[in-house]
Structure 1
Amino acid sequence: MSTEFATTTDVPTTSGAPTRRPAPGASDFARLSRRMAAEGLLDRRPLYYTVRFGLVLLAFAGGWYALFALGDTWLQLGLAAAMAVVFAQVALISHDLAHRQVFSRRLPSEIAGRVAANLLMGMSYGWWMNKHTRHHANPNHEERDPDVAPDILVWSKRQAREASGLARFIGRRQAYLFFPLLLLEGLNLSFNSFRALRSPTMKRPVLEGALLVAHFAAYFGAVFAALPAGKAVAFLAVHQALIGVYMGCVFAPNHKGMLMVTPGMKLDFLRRQVLTSRNVRGGPFVDTLMGGLNYQVEHHLFPSMPTPALGRAAEITRAFCEEEDIPYYEVGLLRSYREILGHLHRTGEPIREAR
């Protein structure tokens, strides 16, 4: 593999974006919101979510039935891969529930969210919602967005210069290690879910913990009941590894390689969300694969907007941004990964140069 990754020259990466100011008394976001509301794009879509949830739950139940029906065979590894997709779709459902795209009220959203995330997926709804809320408030902010904290990877050259320990070791070749590291993301989600139960910010830790324990007891119990130990371990390894890859491939294109917001940078709400987000083209297949998160600009502007409305919302937002001279960025799925790797390679330069 070459030591250089592609760079992108047309991705908005500086703060000098706004060239036209809103009219006095009316923000750009308020005017865009009125356009969305006029077309009913913020209205609930109960039929869509009923069908979507039903299909995912049917696939979920069918997968566990197939586990026992197939029996002692290495074909189970194919089922493990298929179930990784199903689990990731359950996680995407949890995401929509957390944003109240399905129910307008908090209580049914939390009940359904904990069932989907904790019980079916094995991920803490409360932990993830807390982290994701902070991300939405400050996307790609070097100091405030937990998704770009320099934990193992570094996301800016400033982070690279200050990196130490594991982040500094990995940062030298983090572009090459990005996809291999995603193989561990499923385990990382489970680890952080249990660790968060001790956090003072966790609501209902006993309930969340009980649901997580119930999930993993049923999960490990079913796999080891259906398969001999060797095949069971292989099934679990493939399943967890591919969950991590799928989740990483869905969420990484949304912001990685886009504008990094630094302390002191002044952006209004609309520009902060648009300039730090990347949309991914691809039609119905990509829409389904990414659960609508390929419309990341619109999702960040209107988090409670139902998934099926995002395509039309993208058309309106794209036109609005053109009117206001606001850079609006979208690429194909493969191009997005190429840009992510290029960004990771560039941000690791201070570590390589120091060495």
Structure 2
Amino acid sequence: MGASTMVWSRQEVADRILAGDTLVVYNGQLLRIPQAWLNAHPGGSLAILHFVGRDATDEIDAYHSQDAMRKINMFCVGTVETSPYGWAPFLPPVMSGWIRKQASDGSFTWHHEATAIPASNLSSETLLVPNHTPGTKQHQSGGPSLSHLIPPPSNLSLEVQAQHSAAYKQLHERIIKAGLYQTRYLSGYGPEIARYLFLAFSSAYAYSNNWLITSAVCLGFLWHQLVFTVHDLGHMGVTHDWNIDRLLAIFLADFIGGLSVGWWVDNHNVHHLVTNHPSHDPDIEHLPFLAISTAFFNSLWSTYYKRAMTFDRFSAFLLSLQHKLFYILMAFGRFNLYANAYGFLLRKAFDHRKAKGGRWSWWLEVTGVAFFWCWFGALLRGCGSWKMALAYLLTSHLVTSPLHVQIVLSHFAMSTDDLGPTESFPHRQLRTTTDVICPPYLAFLHGGLHLQVTHHLFPRLPRHNLREASVLVKQFAREQGLSYAEFGFIGGNRAVLGVLKAVAEQARILGTVAENGIQGAMKKVH
């Protein structure tokens, strides 16, 4: 589809969205994303669906290479009428609980998977709950109406958010001109490859000498370190070529680590785009074990996992202890990654939609996971006894737990409010993300990803350039009057535990009230 000169009115855009078109605004152009590309999008379909009816210019520029951007005109169907401060956004249908599903005859129809409810603390915040939740509207048929596309009132100024967006574009140009998208293969990855080889040979040498716990520790540290490069490859931040980066990522993540990079990319891109939203960000959806907001007490619907996150007496009990169980849960974080990764691969086995890479990447990942369990299973069998095998398994996995703690530090203590589609990309990322202060000589322990604010603003930026880029980002934040959050590792842990404890206390109170209500009802019966 070539570029069109048609000028679309706001009403015309709304009408086409309600008719089922996937329309996104980019630099004043209107892009119509066909279903075939929605299925094939390397970042997953939700990454697009969360921006239907919105201006996604900053997000598109941040996530796509110049080569990818050259193809964007094929989706252009014209331009849109804008105000002096840009496009006034609609609320994407997925954010009000509406999605398109394919019927048995191949056609797509609207399906109302969840009901939107306003949060009590902010009029602009919208949460989703399952349709069968008591007190909510029942299942609606036919499709969304114009009222579903109108976002709730917002306290944000479209003019101010447009200023932030314009300044972000200038910042992005400075990043590009500074050469910070150039990968530091020798000075950046050279020391890391040496570290990987040292840990691998140390683990093998210790194992051959029957120093099994030492071997397990070295193997765990190897997995811990490899994750950072897999992260870069998943963002196309190494060679910047999708096929090469994906092949390398599958080798490191699946064959050596036993995880699925396909699952990680699908999950992680959504996290970046709707950071800390209780109904949409899979990285904060951990009920019944963890909740960083009392919003989860509403038994929310997850648009990523496609299930209800039920808050019941069992959840209330676990959440009341979450600040005490936090480090125990983090210690077993890698097992949770296995569950999510293998569930994703299983679902994709029955998914007829062809994502980029066709089926070869899925088959290669399945082969990689099988290969991993063959060689790792052989290590466990060679430990001599089931007790030692269990010790080797637990030690190697527990050693990776600091990585899981580090990941949550950057978001768990930050805002989970939804300020609506009016909020600009830079405003949202600075509000929901924080850095962990770390001296340069210890940066390898964090893989350089302690600079999460800059990473969230420029996800494709090579990891070894984040520190230099963060200087420019801090200047940008000062000039725009935005907060750039950062704290030390210990302070960050205290902040997260404080949030978990506050939510735990509310869960304990609700659990007590529910228990008293049940006992009162039983007394009336008798």
The TM-score normalised by the length of structure 2 is 0.60
Structure 2: gaps (5+ residues): 1-124, 126-153, 300-310, 513-526
Q: What SS does the aligned partner of 1:239 have?
A: helix
Q: What is the identity, as a one-letter code, of the residue corresponding to 2:206?
A: L
Q: What residue in structure 1 maps to residue 346 of structure 2?
A: 198
- Which moves more between the two structures, 302-311 or 77-86? 77-86
Higher strand residue share: 2
Q: What residue in structure 2 maps to residue 5 of structure 1?
A: none
Q: 2:319 aligns with which of 164, 167, 171?
A: 171
Equivalent-residue separation in structure 1 for 2:420 and 2:339 (angstroms): 34
Q: What residue in structure 1 maps to residue 208 of structure 2?
A: 69
Query: Could you report, residue by residue, the CA deviation over 1:165-195 in whole angstroms, capped at 9, with x for unpaired residues?
Result: 6432211111111101112211111222222
CA 50–328 in structure 1, closer or farther in 2 if over 3 Å, else same: closer
Matched, 1:145 2:302: no
Q: 1:330 aligns with which of 486, 490, 503?
A: 486
The alpha carbon displacement at 1:18 in A equals 8.4
Q: What is the identity, as a one-letter code, of the residue corresponding to 1:34?
A: E
The alpha carbon displacement at 1:112 in A equals 0.2
Higher helix residue share: 1
- Which moves more between the two structures, 195-204 or 272-281? 195-204
Matched, 1:296 2:432: no
CA 107–325 in structure 1, closer or farther in 2 if over 3 Å, else same: same
The alpha carbon displacement at 1:38 in A equals 2.5
CA 165–59 in structure 1, closer or farther in 2 if over 3 Å, else same: farther
**Any residues of structure 2 matched to 1:1-355 within 5 Å, and which?**
21=160, 27-71=166-210, 73=211, 76-151=212-287, 152-162=289-299, 163-164=311-312, 166-200=314-348, 204-243=361-400, 245-262=401-418, 264=420, 266-354=422-510, 355=512
1:19, 1:325 within 8 Å by CA — same for their partners in 2?
Answer: no
The alpha carbon displacement at 1:68 in A equals 2.9
Percent of residue pairs identical: 24
Q: What SS does the aligned partner of 1:331 have?
A: strand
2:161, 2:424 within 8 Å by CA — same for their partners in 1?
Answer: no
Equivalent-residue separation in structure 2 for 1:137 and 1:334 (angstroms): 28
User: How many aligned residue pairs are there?
Assistant: 338
CA 70–343 in structure 1, closer or farther in 2 if over 3 Å, else same: same
Determine which structure has more spread, i.e. the larger CA radius of gyration: 2
Equivalent-residue separation in structure 2 for 1:272 and 1:172 (angstroms): 29
The alpha carbon displacement at 1:69 in A equals 2.9
Equivalent-residue separation in structure 2 for 1:331 and 1:63 (angstroms): 34
Q: What SS does the aligned partner of 2:382 have?
A: helix
Equivalent-residue separation in structure 2 for 1:305 and 1:38 (angstroms): 13
Q: What is the identity, as a one-letter code, of the residue corresponding to 1:63?
A: S
- Which moves more between the two structures, 57-66 or 167-176? 57-66
Structure 1: gaps (5+ residues): 1-13
Q: What is the identity, as a one-letter code, of the residue corresponding to 1:236?
A: L
The alpha carbon displacement at 1:16 in A equals 7.3
Q: What is the identity, as a one-letter code, of the residue corresponding to 2:252?
A: A
Equivalent-residue separation in structure 1 for 2:175 and 2:440 (angstroms): 21
CA 82–57 in structure 1, closer or farther in 2 if over 3 Å, else same: closer
CA 259–17 in structure 1, closer or farther in 2 if over 3 Å, else same: farther
The Cα RMSD (Å) is 2.5
Q: What SS does the aligned partner of 2:375 have?
A: helix
Equivalent-residue separation in structure 1 for 2:242 and 2:264 (angstroms): 16
Q: What residue in structure 1 maps to residue 97 of structure 2?
A: none
Equivalent-residue separation in structure 2 for 1:241 and 1:23 (angstroms): 45
* Divergent runs of 4+, >4 A: 14-20, 22-26
Equivalent-residue separation in structure 2 for 1:190 and 1:24 (angstroms): 43
The alpha carbon displacement at 1:160 in A equals 3.0
Equivalent-residue separation in structure 1 for 2:243 and 2:502 (angstroms): 44
The alpha carbon displacement at 1:211 in A equals 0.7
Equivalent-residue separation in structure 2 for 1:96 and 1:299 (angstroms): 11
Q: What SS does the aligned partner of 2:423 have?
A: coil
Q: What SS does the aligned partner of 2:160 have?
A: coil
The alpha carbon displacement at 1:351 in A equals 1.4
The alpha carbon displacement at 1:220 in A equals 1.7
Q: What SS does the aligned partner of 1:297 have?
A: helix
Q: What SS does the aligned partner of 2:433 have?
A: coil
- Which moves more between the two structures, 40-49 or 288-297? 40-49
The alpha carbon displacement at 1:142 in A equals 1.3
CA 334–353 in structure 1, closer or farther in 2 if over 3 Å, else same: same
Q: What is the identity, as a one-letter code, of the residue corresponding to 1:160?
A: F
2:454, 2:469 within 8 Å by CA — same for their partners in 1?
Answer: yes
2:436, 2:450 within 8 Å by CA — same for their partners in 1?
Answer: yes
CA 314–125 in structure 1, closer or farther in 2 if over 3 Å, else same: same
Q: What SS does the aligned partner of 1:154 have?
A: coil
The TM-score normalised by the length of structure 1 is 0.87
The alpha carbon displacement at 1:60 in A equals 4.1
- Which moves more between the two structures, 342-351 or 292-301? 342-351
2:164, 2:480 within 8 Å by CA — same for their partners in 1?
Answer: no
Query: Could you report, residue by residue, the CA deviation over 1:117-148 in whole angstroms, capped at 9, with x for unpaired residues?
Result: 00111111111111011101111111111011
